[in-house]
Structure 1
Amino acid sequence: MDNTLVLGGTRFIGRHLVDDLLDHAYDVTIFTRGNRENPFADDDRVDHIEGDRTNDTALEAAATTADPDAVFDCVAYHPKDVRAATRIFADCEAYVYVSSGAAYGREVIPKREDETPLNSCTADQATDDSFETYGNRKAEGDRAVFAAAEDGIRAMAVRPPIVYGPHDYTERLDWWIDRVNRFDRVVIPGDGTNLRHRVYVEDVASALRIVAEGGTAGEAYNVGDRRLVTLEEMVELIADRLDTDVDLVHAGPRELAAGEIELDDYPLYRTYPHVLSTGKLAALGWESTPLEEAMGRSVDAHLDSDRDDDDTGPDRKAEERVLGILETL
């Protein structure tokens, strides 16, 4: 494979994927609507085709223009988009779909690609745009990949959990970095042992490339940090990078009620552990970035930005009411 086409490529996962492909000597074309700033506008190694990936005619034109060997689909949010792409790029050597750990339909630890059932998806869910149906739509996209493979197309899926790192527009991790950077006391929801699998964005990028190079048609591959940490341990890693000491204050539902806060209001909190098995991807030769290094780069990127992220999680004044209650106990 020499020529690659990235559907998306300017915002987050796709942006890091382009960098990874360039680092591995691939020719890269990105296909975007042109609504966002293109970080590769001045890079003559990256071609840009403008168009809407939900428009099949535009996608067919991109296929003709780019003539890719491998296609990476970072912006397929509905099953019909995956079905269209696998049809249009059927002759390519690889089509890799960015799915999600949210595609899994059963709470087990860990979630395994070939064992854990996927979410169902109704006709209404397949065309919905709400957060509530995201996992259903991603699961149906996976099934479209499997169907394409049965027709002889080398289509594969990669399932990340929560993705973090530089250029993360969700700002979920940024909220925690900001808290640790600005305050001496940080509220930790629950007892601090909450466990939610996360994955560094550069590792998602390398996973996509490695699956295109060596993955098996019709297979899905989980990708996630090989070392998992609790929410409290994550905050401690942030504090270490910032070289600061913080007092971590645990607050359960009763204490949080003083600030009219719920556990799920906190970014990256999840009541039941969410853990993906990553052995299948590792067997292809994939490795994850050491956690201290990944977190360090994420913290540094936050400090270089102008984000304060107050709108992502609970208001600080509400948290101060909680801290006041805890001081009296």
Structure 2
Amino acid sequence: MDSALVVGGTRFIGRHLVEELLANDYSVTTFNRGKHDDPFSDDDRVHHVQGDRTDRKALLTAKREVEPDAVFDCVAYKPREVEAATDVFGGVDAYVYVSSGAAYAAEDVPKREGETDLESCTAEEATDDTMETYGARKAAGDRIVFQAADRGVNAMSVRPPVVYGPHDYTERLAYWVDRVAEYDEVVVPGDGTNLWQRVYVEDVAQGMRLVAEEGTPGEAYNVGDRNAVTLDRMLDLVADALDTSVDRAYTSPRELSIADLEPADFPLYRDYPHLLDTAKIAALGYESTPVDEAMRRTAVAHREHGRTGEDEGPSREAEQKLLDVLGTV
């Protein structure tokens, strides 16, 4: 494969995917509405087609202008969008849909492709825009990919858990980076051992390329850090990256309630372990970045770009209120 169309391509996963494809000698075109700053606007190696991916005519225009070998769909959030894309790009060598680890319904540890049940999706959920239906909509997109493959479309999907890295506009990890950088003590929900697997964004990009090149149509591939870390270990890695240290106040739900907080208010906290089996994509040649290096790059980038995640978790005032109370007990 020589040419690629990236649906998205300017903000986070798509941005890193473009860089991955360029590094592997692809001719790259991005397709998006042009509503965000384009980091490749001055790069003559990257072409751009402007259009709304929810507009079928715009997709057809992009297909005719680019005639891509591979299509990478980074911003399909509703089943109908996947359905339109697998139809329009039905003749390409590879169509890769970005699904999510949230598509899994069963709390298996680890979650395995083809074994762990997926979320169901009602007609009402399929057109919803809230996070409550995100996993259901991604699972519905997966099923459309499988159906397209049954019709002869070279369609595949990748399922990442929480993605982190430079340019992460969600700022979930940035919340913890800022806490470690700015304060001597932070509040940690629970005992710090909760496990929510993550994946470094450059590795997602690598996985998408490998799936396009080596994957099997009709298959889904989990892509994640090969070494999952607890919240506590993540704080250690962030502190090491920033050459500092941080004390932790481990808190129970009852203690958190003192400040009108609960564990779920903290980003990257999950009651039950979320771990994806990545053996399937490893068989394609996937290797994840060592987590200490991935965290170092991420923490440094978040500090350089002033990302604080202040809207992603409890305020420092609420934290301090709790710390003050706990310190008197």
Give the letter for the 1:287 counterpart. E
Counterpart of 2:64, as a letter, is T
Task: Report the counterpart of residue 169 of structure 1 in structure 2.
Answer: 169
CA separation in 2, counterparts of 1:19 and 1:267? Answer: 28
SS of match in other structure, 2:14: helix
Separation in 2 of the partners of 1:310 and 1:100? Answer: 25
Verify the 8 A CA contact 1:16 1:201 in the aligned structure 2: yes
Matched, 1:109 2:112: no
Match of 2:312 in 1: 312
Name the counterpart of 1:126.
126
1:65 matched to which residue of 2? 65
Superposed displacement of residue 85, structure 1: 0.5
Determine the structure 1 residue equivalent to 2:74: 74
The reply on whether 1:41 has 2:41 as its aligned counterpart is yes
Distance in 2 of aligned mates of 1:60 and 1:223:
30
The correspondence of residues 155-194 of structure 1 with structure 2, limited to 5 A, is: 155-194=155-194
Contact 1:197 1:228 in 2 (8 A): yes
Separation in structure 2 between the aligned mates of residue 192 and residue 76 of structure 1, nearest angstrom: 34
* Distance apart, 1:309 and its partner CA: 2.3
Where does residue 12 of structure 1 map in the other structure? 12
Structure 1 unaligned residues grouped into runs of 5+: none
Give the aligned residue type for 2:198.
R
User: Match of 2:36, SS?
Assistant: coil
- Alignment of 1:229 with 2:229, yes or no, is yes
**Mean alpha-carbon deviation: is it higher for 154-163 or for 309-318?**
309-318
* 1:207 counterpart = 2:207: yes
User: For the aligned residues, what is the CA RMSD?
Assistant: 0.6
Q: For each residue in 1:143-192, what CA deviation from the matched residue of structure 2 results, as whole angstroms up to 9, or x when unmatched?
A: 00000000011100000000000000000000000000000001111011
In the alignment, which residue of structure 2 is the partner of 1:246? 246
The one-character-per-residue Cα deviations of 1:23-71 (angstroms, maximum 9, x if unpaired) are: 0000000001000110000000000000000000000010000100000
Structure 2: which amino acid aligns with 1:291?
V
Residue 27 of structure 1 is matched in structure 2 by 27
1:75-122 residue CA offsets vs partner (Å, 9 max, x unmatched): 100111111111101110000000000000111100000100100011
CA distance in 1, matches of 2:171, 2:304: 14
- Aligned equivalents of 1:87 and 1:233: distance in 2? 44
CA distance in 2, matches of 1:301, 1:307: 8
CA distance, structure 2, for counterparts of residue 27 and residue 307 of structure 1? 32
Residues of 1 paired with 2:308 and 2:199: CA distance?
22
Shift in Å, 1:296: 0.4
Partners of 2:228 and 2:3 lie apart in 1 by 35
Q: Distance in 2 between matches of 1:18 and 1:307?
A: 23
Q: Check if 1:135 corresponds to 2:98.
A: no
One-letter amino acid of the counterpart of residue 310, structure 1: E
How many angstroms apart in 2 are the aligned matches of 1:200 and 1:256?
30
The normalised TM-score by structure 1 is 0.99
| Code of the aligned partner of 2:45 | R
Tell me, in whole angstroms, the C-alpha distance in 2 between the residues paired with 1:299 and 1:240.
10
Contact kept, 8 Å, 2:189 with 2:250, in 1: the verdict is: yes
Q: Which residue of 2 aligns with 1:285?
A: 285
TM-score, normalised by the number of residues in structure 2: 0.99
Aligned-residue offset at 1:245:
1.7
Structure 1 CA distance for aligned equivalents of residues 254 and 119 of structure 2: 33
Question: Which amino acid in 1 is paired with 2:231?
Answer: L
Provide the aligned length of Structure 1 versus Structure 2. 329
Is residue 177–residue 308 contact of structure 2 (8 Å, CA) maintained in 1? Answer: no
Aligned mates of 1:190, 1:200 — CA distance in 2: 25
Match of 2:195 in 1: 195
Please report how far the alpha carbon of residue 222 of structure 1 lies from its aligned counterpart in structure 2 after TM superposition.
0.2
Mapped to 1, the partners of 2:311 and 2:122 lie a distance apart of: 33
Q: Which runs of 5+ in 2 are unaligned?
A: none
- Equivalent position amino acid for 1:163 in 2: V
Answer yes or no: is the 8 Å Cα contact 1:255–1:325 preserved in 2: no
Structure 2 residue 293 is matched with structure 1 residue 296: no
| Separation in 1, partners of 2:308, 2:4 | 36
The list of structure 1 runs, each at least 4 consecutive aligned residues, that deviate by more than 3 angstroms after superposition, is none
Partner residue, 2:327 = 327
Q: What residue in structure 1 maps to residue 145 of structure 2?
A: 145
